[in-house]
Amino acid sequence: MRRLGWKVLYRNFRAPDGGEVDLICRHGQTLVFAEVKTRSRASELSRPADNVTPEKERLIARGALAWLRMLGNPDIEFRFDIIEVILGDDGVAEITVNEAAFSLPKNWRY
Protein backbone atom coordinates (compact mmCIF):
# COMPACT_ATOMS: atom_id res chain seq x y z
CA MET A 1 0.00 0.00 0.00
CA ARG A 2 2.90 2.33 0.73
CA ARG A 3 4.15 1.85 -2.83
CA LEU A 4 0.79 3.21 -4.00
CA GLY A 5 1.27 6.33 -1.91
CA TRP A 6 -0.94 5.21 0.95
CA LYS A 7 -0.07 5.75 4.60
CA VAL A 8 -1.28 2.88 6.79
CA LEU A 9 -2.75 4.34 9.98
CA TYR A 10 -4.16 1.24 11.66
CA ARG A 11 -4.57 -2.49 11.05
CA ASN A 12 -7.39 -4.74 12.25
CA PHE A 13 -9.50 -2.07 13.95
CA ARG A 14 -12.31 -3.52 16.06
CA ALA A 15 -14.95 -1.07 17.22
CA PRO A 16 -16.71 -1.50 20.56
CA ASP A 17 -20.09 -1.88 18.81
CA GLY A 18 -18.92 -4.78 16.65
CA GLY A 19 -17.65 -2.97 13.58
CA GLU A 20 -14.35 -3.97 12.02
CA VAL A 21 -11.94 -2.63 9.44
CA ASP A 22 -8.87 -4.49 8.12
CA LEU A 23 -6.89 -1.39 7.12
CA ILE A 24 -7.37 2.30 7.80
CA CYS A 25 -5.19 4.35 5.49
CA ARG A 26 -4.64 7.83 4.17
CA HIS A 27 -4.55 8.19 0.38
CA GLY A 28 -3.80 11.83 -0.31
CA GLN A 29 -6.50 13.77 1.53
CA THR A 30 -8.87 10.79 1.63
CA LEU A 31 -9.30 8.42 4.54
CA VAL A 32 -9.63 4.85 3.26
CA PHE A 33 -11.35 2.03 5.11
CA ALA A 34 -10.25 -1.14 3.36
CA GLU A 35 -11.27 -4.78 3.49
CA VAL A 36 -8.51 -7.18 2.44
CA LYS A 37 -9.53 -10.46 0.81
CA THR A 38 -6.93 -13.09 -0.09
CA ARG A 39 -7.32 -16.18 -2.24
CA SER A 40 -4.97 -18.66 -3.83
CA ARG A 41 -4.82 -18.99 -7.59
CA ALA A 42 -6.26 -22.51 -7.13
CA SER A 43 -9.57 -21.06 -5.97
CA GLU A 44 -10.12 -18.91 -9.06
CA LEU A 45 -13.84 -19.61 -9.35
CA SER A 46 -14.59 -16.13 -8.02
CA ARG A 47 -12.78 -12.91 -7.26
CA PRO A 48 -11.92 -12.29 -3.60
CA ALA A 49 -14.11 -9.15 -3.59
CA ASP A 50 -17.13 -11.31 -4.45
CA ASN A 51 -17.01 -12.55 -0.86
CA VAL A 52 -17.68 -9.14 0.66
CA THR A 53 -21.34 -9.49 1.51
CA PRO A 54 -23.77 -6.68 2.37
CA GLU A 55 -23.50 -7.79 6.01
CA LYS A 56 -19.71 -7.46 5.85
CA GLU A 57 -20.09 -4.02 4.27
CA ARG A 58 -22.28 -3.00 7.23
CA LEU A 59 -19.62 -4.23 9.70
CA ILE A 60 -16.93 -2.26 7.88
CA ALA A 61 -19.14 0.85 7.77
CA ARG A 62 -19.89 0.50 11.50
CA GLY A 63 -16.16 0.27 12.22
CA ALA A 64 -15.40 3.24 9.97
CA LEU A 65 -18.01 5.42 11.64
CA ALA A 66 -16.71 4.42 15.09
CA TRP A 67 -13.21 5.49 13.94
CA LEU A 68 -14.57 8.82 12.71
CA ARG A 69 -16.38 9.37 16.04
CA MET A 70 -13.08 8.74 17.86
CA LEU A 71 -11.58 11.54 15.75
CA GLY A 72 -14.42 13.90 16.69
CA ASN A 73 -16.36 13.43 13.44
CA PRO A 74 -14.04 15.49 11.24
CA ASP A 75 -15.26 16.87 7.95
CA ILE A 76 -13.07 14.57 5.88
CA GLU A 77 -13.53 12.69 2.64
CA PHE A 78 -13.53 8.93 3.07
CA ARG A 79 -14.22 5.85 1.01
CA PHE A 80 -14.53 2.09 1.29
CA ASP A 81 -12.10 0.01 -0.77
CA ILE A 82 -11.66 -3.71 -1.25
CA ILE A 83 -8.11 -4.94 -1.70
CA GLU A 84 -7.86 -8.27 -3.50
CA VAL A 85 -4.75 -10.39 -3.02
CA ILE A 86 -4.42 -13.44 -5.26
CA LEU A 87 -1.51 -15.70 -4.38
CA GLY A 88 0.11 -17.39 -7.34
CA ASP A 89 1.60 -20.87 -7.30
CA ASP A 90 5.02 -19.21 -7.57
CA GLY A 91 4.46 -17.26 -4.34
CA VAL A 92 3.98 -13.96 -6.15
CA ALA A 93 0.91 -11.99 -5.09
CA GLU A 94 -1.30 -10.09 -7.53
CA ILE A 95 -2.85 -7.12 -5.71
CA THR A 96 -5.86 -5.23 -7.03
CA VAL A 97 -7.37 -2.22 -5.28
CA ASN A 98 -11.07 -1.66 -5.93
CA GLU A 99 -11.46 1.98 -4.95
CA ALA A 100 -14.86 3.09 -3.67
CA ALA A 101 -16.08 -0.50 -3.90
CA PHE A 102 -19.16 0.33 -1.83
CA SER A 103 -20.69 3.22 0.09
CA LEU A 104 -22.57 3.64 3.33
CA PRO A 105 -25.72 1.53 3.35
CA LYS A 106 -28.95 3.38 2.55
CA ASN A 107 -30.89 4.62 5.56
CA TRP A 108 -27.73 4.31 7.66
CA ARG A 109 -28.14 5.58 11.20
CA TYR A 110 -25.25 6.40 13.49
Q: Which residue type sits at 81?
A: D
pLDDT digits (tens, 9 = 90+) for 69-110: 999 988 999 999 999 999 888 888 899 999 999 998 676 655
In a domain, 108, yes or no: no
In a domain, 42, yes or no: yes
Q: Is 52 within 8 Å of 101 (Cβ atoms)?
A: yes
In a domain, 55, yes or no: yes
HSE-CB at 34 with a 13 A cutoff on CA atoms is 27
In a domain, 18, yes or no: yes
7 strand-pairing partners: 26
- Look up the CATH number of the domain holding residue 10: 3.40.1350.10
| Predicted confidence (pLDDT) at residue 34 exceeds the cutoff of 60 | yes
33 strand-pairing partners: 24, 80
When pLDDT is cut at 50, 70 and 90, the band that residue 33 belongs to is: very high
In the prediction, which pLDDT does 22 show? 98
When pLDDT is cut at 50, 70 and 90, the band that residue 44 belongs to is: low
In a domain, 109, yes or no: no
What's the domain count of the chain? 1
How many angstroms from the chain centroid is the CA of residue 13?
11
Mean pLDDT of 19-36: 96
Range of the domain at 26: 2-102
